[in-house]
Amino acid sequence: MKLLFNGIPVELGTLKSSAFGGILNQYKGRNIVIMVDENTHNACLEGLFADFPTLKNKAIILLPSGEENKNIEVVFQVWSALLERKIQRKDLIINVGGGMVTDLGGFVAATYKRGIDFIHIPTSLLAMVDAALGGKTGIDLNGVKNAVGTFTSPKAIFIDPVFLETLPAHEIFNGLAEMMKHALILDVGYWNKLKRIRNEEALTTVENILRSIQLKKEVVESDSKESNRRKLLNFGHTFGHGIESYFIAKKPIAHGHAVALGMIAESFVAFKRKVLSQKAYVEIEQVLIDIFPMPPIPENAFQEILSHMKQDKKNTGNHVNFVLLKEPGVAEIDAKLTEREIGEALLHLSLLAQNRN
Ligand SMILES: NC(=O)c1ccc[n+]([C@@H]2O[C@H](COP(=O)([O-])OP(=O)(O)OC[C@H]3O[C@@H](n4cnc5c(N)ncnc54)[C@H](O)[C@@H]3O)[C@@H](O)[C@H]2O)c1
């Protein structure tokens, strides 16, 4: 299945029968570098090489896996490795991995020699439905999520669900968090479907992956550069990034997991404001706590989470902005959070964690 996402070709289906081989031919005689992390190196390269044997003798850059490595030190090492290998502007980087690899690999490609071509082959569900799409690249800085980055699009994106066969179950559910985000902000019918799914196979169908891609496509195409509608995609991310940043130096929690906690917190604020009905809030909370573990968030962490939230790129002036959910499928951008609301929502998450554990 082929579509254009903001002008970028995206193919969903078997990589072998996609246009990927044709693109590789366009780079005959050029250097090709494959970027992977330890897990995608072990899980994904064998199949890729079996289908595309010419890739076997290409340079591989192995990234240390995990969000805690999505930083400038690793970027520096990758830039240096590219220089050492004499990679030139007309060469190609292929990012094979989850959102960490596509974000960091995209950032390296966007900045090395003022930008070289790259292709994303997302291998986690989260990257297939979200991170690899939309042209945002980036790394974290001093624990602040995605503090440095660019808007740079790959040449093409190839999404082959076969890679999900080796993805651990909890990572599948991290992808579900972003899919639920798409559903809650844009499509109540999709939410009603996803909220019942607890089974990985039922979740990772081509139909569901495609629905999320279409929803993100619709929003991004109605607005690039984060000015208006695209901000809807930040639902769950104001609290989510604050919580993820807080845990990064301690015991990192996955991005999707943090977004799920953020969606509970932001829906709680909407409910407290009497914008979101109690029925809708309770349902969202129950669905999410049924799927995602609730990590203890001690009260002495609130200040640190708040200061991370104040660093968020979505903010304007001194305000912490967030996406206000009105009902499943309908949300409003640029709502402002008060510090009291942030404290109440974090306390609520903390109490939920105490009740669960
Ligand atoms: N650029 C964007 O628009 C955007 C949007 C959403 C999220 N993100 C970013 O994406 C990142 C999260 O993405 P993620 O959840 O994919 O994280 P990730 O890349 O760290 O992948 C999660 C884990 O799954 C492993 N993995 C990936 N594919 C595998 C496979 N096929 N088999 C076995 N293991 C595999 C990885 O090695 C890692 O351990 C965060 O950094 C987040 O900020 C970016």
From the CA of 201, how far away is ligand 1's center (Å)?
19
Q: Please report the pLDDT score of residue 224 as a whole number.
A: 55
Question: Is there a common fold for 2-166 and 169-356?
Answer: no
pLDDT of residue 356: 79
CA of 319 to the centre of ligand 1 (A): 30
Going from N- to C-terminal start, the domains of the chain cover 2-166, 169-356
Give the predicted TM-score (pTM) of the model. Answer: 0.95
Residue 76 CA to ligand 1 centre (angstroms): 20
Domain 2-166 belongs to what topology?
A: Rossmann fold (3.40.50)
CA-based nearest residue to 194, from 230, 277, 181: 181
With the most atoms of ligand 1 within 8 angstroms of its CB, the residue from 5, 8, 39, 148 to mutate is: 39
pLDDT of residue 340: 95
**Would you state the structure tokens that stand for residue 221, as one six-digit string?**
């195409």
Residue 226 pLDDT: 52
Q: What is the DSSP string of 173-212?
A: HHHHHHHHHHHHHH-HHHHHHHTT---HHHHS-HHHHHHH
| pLDDT at res. 85 | 97
The number of beta carbons lying within 10 Å of the beta carbon of residue 26 is 10
pLDDT < 70 positions in the chain: 224-227, 357
At the top level of CATH, the class of 169-356 is: mainly alpha
Sheet of strand 156-159, all strands in order from the earlier edge strand to the far edge = 2-5, 8-12, 156-159, 117-122, 92-97, 32-37, 59-63
